[in-house]
Amino acid sequence: MGGKRGNIEMFGRICVIAATVAGISAASVATAQTSGEATLFTRGRFQGAGVTLTGPRERMNPVVVESLRIAPGTAWDLCSGRTFTGCKRFSESRSSMVMTVRSARPVEAAIPASASAAIEGAKGSGASLRGLDSEFFVMPDDGGNRVAVANSPGALPQRATDFCRAHGWRASAYQRVQAIGGSNYLADVLCTNEAK
């Protein structure tokens, strides 16, 4: 009788130790995050299946995200649409949330909006985030200067497509315009080889 009880107690201790080790391993995996990556979890508190993204992803199989881990100092757009539409921006990890994600992309620092930054804003960054099938330009430039856009219907998508073609892509899948000091400039241009 005492032997069985001792075995049951020992088995219980082994189960507790195994569960603790498994919890520590899962926690260390959840906290490990490479700069620029985002991990989407299907359960809260960084649990469940994890999908790690290292760059922009379109047309994903829908993922119901209940927690999100991103590296400090980075930001990501998580989008309900398949081609970066219906996006919500996250600049820190979330242990609890609910969102169906069908596309996602990393985001560079926000474009300066203050009056004191307007002069600097007229300079292009030249920086981009290039993936296998697309390239994202926050502040597109041409020779160090921002790419100007005429204030007329249809000018924005055509100017963005011309910019993308000059950089080896077929078309612009997404673009915005930024007004600085009475002039309009291309912003947030996503170049791709897929036609719209």
Final residue of a domain: which of 91, 107, 123?
107
DSSP β-bridge partners for residue 180: 183
**Same domain, yes or no: 96 and 124:** no
Q: For the chain, 196 residues long, give each residue's pLDDT as a single digit of tens.
A: 455 555 555 544 554 444 444 444 344 334 444 557 999 999 999 999 999 998 899 999 999 999 999 988 788 999 999 999 999 999 899 999 999 999 999 886 554 444 334 444 455 566 788 888 899 998 898 888 889 998 887 889 999 999 999 988 999 999 988 888 788 899 999 999 886 5
Is 178 within the bounds of a domain? yes
pLDDT of residue 159: 93
Is 19 within the bounds of a domain? no
**Same domain, yes or no: 101 and 133:** no
Q: What is the DSSP string of 61-129?
A: PPEEESEEEE-TT-EEEEESSTTS-SEEEESS-BSS--EEESEEEEE-SPPP-SGGGHHHHTB----EE
pLDDT per residue as tens digits for the range 1-58: 455 555 555 544 554 444 444 444 344 334 444 557 999 999 999 999 999 998 899 9
Is 75 within the bounds of a domain? yes
Final residue of a domain: which of 107, 124, 156?
107
Give the largest Cα separation in the chain, rounded: 90
Quickly count helices (H) and strands (E) in the chain.
3, 14
Q: What is the Cα–Cα distance from 12 to 14, expressed in whole angstroms?
A: 5
